[in-house]
Amino acid sequence: MKQLHILLFIISSWFSIQSYAQQKTDTIKRQESYGIRVGVDISKPIITFFDKQNKAIEVVGDIRILNNYYLATEIGNVTKTTNEDYINFTTKGSYIKVGFNYNAYKNWIGMRNEIYVGLRYGISFFNQTLNSYTPNSNGTYFNNPQITPSNKFSGLNAQWYAFVFGMKVETLKNLYLGASVSFNKMISTKEPENFKNLYVPGFNRVFLNDSGVSFNYTLSYLIPIIKKKK
């Protein structure tokens, strides 16, 4: 009987210790970093290296304002020569995109990765230079001559909105690799007479329905400002 009491005491004590440990674990609060994350689109220098007619740079940044919400921006500059079947032109200008991201990924304790959706407003200021074109005339016996007017159209602009889908993975402490795709829709654009803006910095190729798609691959660093217990 005495042994039974001792056994019950040991079992009761073990459950009490486990219960206390669980309560202590539940009350441990981990810290969440809130700060500014800045980086660059690493794909653009790579493209420039292989295509000398395409020079671009993009700086990206975001700041965490709530648990899963981030204010985000992309700022860039582009010089690109487009050579199509009947036209060759050079676009040069800058752009800025601002908006927010919502992180839909539920991290494990200690992880700070993101799978996010977002919305952007973009605006670009640029110029177009028409380097050459070939009149597209059907039914002629001789080949149409290439015309090289070198007309420059300045003071152009465009505005658009975009839906963004992307991800960011923390590879080292505070260092992130990211990738995203943006589905763009033109709001308004200023075009020169008799020349359509077929390419807009930040928007990329403009399709016939005034839509477009753009990508970026980023390397960014988080600068912690404050830490909150969670």
**Residue 100 vs residue 227, higher pLDDT:** 100
Mean pLDDT of the chain: 84
Confirm whether 58 is domain-assigned. yes
Give CA separation, 100 vs 45, 103, 173, 194, in Å.
26, 10, 23, 37
pLDDT at 136: 64
Cα–Cα distance for residue pair 185/121, rounded to 1 Å: 10
Domain interval for residue 43: 33-229
How would residue 147 be classed by pLDDT, with cut points 50, 70 and 90? low
pLDDT at 58: 98
pLDDT at 66: 86
Confirm whether 27 is domain-assigned. no
SS3 at position 216: strand
Confirm whether 154 is domain-assigned. yes
Please check the confidence at residue 21 and state whether its pLDDT lies above 70.
Answer: no
Per-residue pLDDT reduced to its tens digit, 173-195: 999 999 999 999 999 999 988 78
Average pLDDT over residues 65-81: 94
**Residue 87 vs residue 60, higher pLDDT:** 60
Whether the pTM exceeds 0.85: the reply is: no
Please check the confidence at residue 210 and state whether its pLDDT lies above 60.
Answer: yes
Confirm whether 3 is domain-assigned. no
Confirm whether 14 is domain-assigned. no
Find tokens 């001559």 and name the residue: 145
Cα–Cα distance for residue pair 203/97, rounded to 1 Å: 10
Q: What is the CATH number of the domain that holds 195?
A: 2.40.160.20
**Residue 20 vs residue 111, higher pLDDT:** 111
Around 73, how many Cα atoms within 13 Å sit in the side-chain half-sphere? 12
Confirm whether 12 is domain-assigned. no
Total structural domains within the chain: 1
Confirm whether 168 is domain-assigned. yes
Residue 109 DSSP label? T
Confirm whether 19 is domain-assigned. no
Please check the confidence at residue 139 and state whether its pLDDT lies above 70.
Answer: no
Whether the CB-CB separation of 35 and 64 falls below 8 Å is answered with: yes
